[in-house]
Structure 1
Amino acid sequence: MATNASESQYVTFGLDDECFAVPVEVVREILDHEDVFRIPHGPDYLLGLRDVRGQGVPVIDLRLRLGMSGMAKTTHTRVLVIDVPIAGRLLTLGLVADRVFEVASFQKDAVEGAPDIGVRWSSEYISGVVRRNGGFVVIIDLGRLFTGADVTSLVAGPQARSA
């Protein structure tokens, strides 16, 4: 799918009844959900580690990270394996989504700024919203979502590599 300079591509996915998106260039692959190796004393949103092509990848319950209720595994549950640039390194993570929809192109001028009120989740993790099919697609700012002291242990682990 070719795009021009006035549009960007995103992988769209669902959490509860909401539609979210991340830039397609950070998504390495999309996998079926599998049980993970639990890590004791990790943050509540860290489900554990999963082997992805010989690499131990931390799997994140994105619903919990966004302040929503925890995920419930279904036949549609997927894991988006992403590479997030943080502090000069690439952090590889698995994000659990209730379902993955498609790769969608959004016109850059159609992306609105993040709302400050009226949403159930913290707007500091939102880079923008797009009106689509009578609703909104929320574009997640992965750099803001995965920064701070609570993810320092993820960045320091063997899954991080120089960018």
Structure 2
Amino acid sequence: MAVISSESQFVTFSLGDEIFAVPVEVVREILDHEEPFKIPHGPEYLLGLRDVRGQGVPVIDLRLRLGMTRTVKTPHTRILVLDVPVADRVLVLGLVADRVFEVVPFRKEQIETAPDIGVRWRSDYIAGVVRRESGFVVVVDLARLFSDSGSALADVGPQSQVA
């Protein structure tokens, strides 16, 4: 009987001292940080738009979206351009990361459910955690992070009006 791989690849990055990961298949590219074009009246975490190969891509300060302090740009600050599947469409987003580290494999059995450990952000955005010698890696549930009813990003596109 053939063994099916239960390993997935993740891109790891930091926000402050915390390490996060997203599935490599949603990462389109990683760019140096540039100031985005500001969008008036957007939520605080929506920094603006950035031109990525001819497409206007919303840039999100993930630190603010997770209830952390605003990102302070350094020479290591990067933008992960992601294709986030949400409901019946794909959102193209740029997430600001303090530093991007590497692509790492995690086995399915390594990814634990998010325990209630008193973290600073809402745990429903956590797909799981992986223990490493240096601490934990938080796997972000991108679809949930950008599809909750409070997210302005989930309301992109035509809206149906209910009378």
8 Å Cα contact 2:114-2:123 kept in structure 1: yes
Residue 152 of structure 1 and its aligned partner are, at CA, apart by: 4.4
Aligned to 1:9: 9
Q: Which whole-Å deviations, capped at 9, do the CAs of 1:46-97 have from their partners, x for residues lacking one?
A: 0000000000000000000011000000000000000011121110000000
Correspondence list, 1:70-85, <5 A: 70-85=70-85
Name the CA distance, whole Å, in 1 between partners of 2:34 and 2:118: 34
Question: Unpaired runs of 5+ in structure 1?
Answer: 159-163
Larger Rg: 2
8 Å Cα contact 1:8-1:107 kept in structure 2: yes
Bigger shift: residues 134-143 or 111-120: 111-120
Aligned to 1:44: 44
Aligned to 2:103: 103
8 Å Cα contact 1:91-1:155 kept in structure 2: no
Amino acid in the other structure paired with 1:61? D
Residue 107 of structure 1 and its aligned partner are, at CA, apart by: 1.1
Name the CA distance, whole Å, in 2 between partners of 1:123 and 1:6: 24
Q: Tell me the matched-pair count.
A: 155
Name the CA distance, whole Å, in 1 between partners of 2:72 and 2:19: 17
8 Å Cα contact 1:12-1:100 kept in structure 2: yes
Amino acid in the other structure paired with 1:102? E
Misfit runs of 4+, over 6 Å: none
RMSD: 1.5
Residue 155 of structure 1 and its aligned partner are, at CA, apart by: 5.0
Name the CA distance, whole Å, in 2 between partners of 1:110 and 1:29: 26
Name the CA distance, whole Å, in 1 between partners of 2:72 and 2:155: 27
Amino-acid identity (%): 70
Aligned to 1:161: none
Residue 154 of structure 1 and its aligned partner are, at CA, apart by: 5.6
Q: TM-score, normalised by structure 2?
A: 0.90
Q: Which whole-Å deviations, capped at 9, do the CAs of 1:22-52 have from their partners, x for residues lacking one?
A: 0000000000000110000000100000000
Aligned to 2:35: 35
Name the CA distance, whole Å, in 2 between partners of 1:73 and 1:10: 24
**Pair 1:147–1:154, CA change in 2 (3 A):** closer
Name the CA distance, whole Å, in 1 between partners of 2:11 and 2:45: 21
Correspondence list, 1:70-149, <5 A: 70-149=70-149
**Pair 1:153–1:24, CA change in 2 (3 A):** closer
Name the CA distance, whole Å, in 2 between partners of 1:51 and 1:157: 19
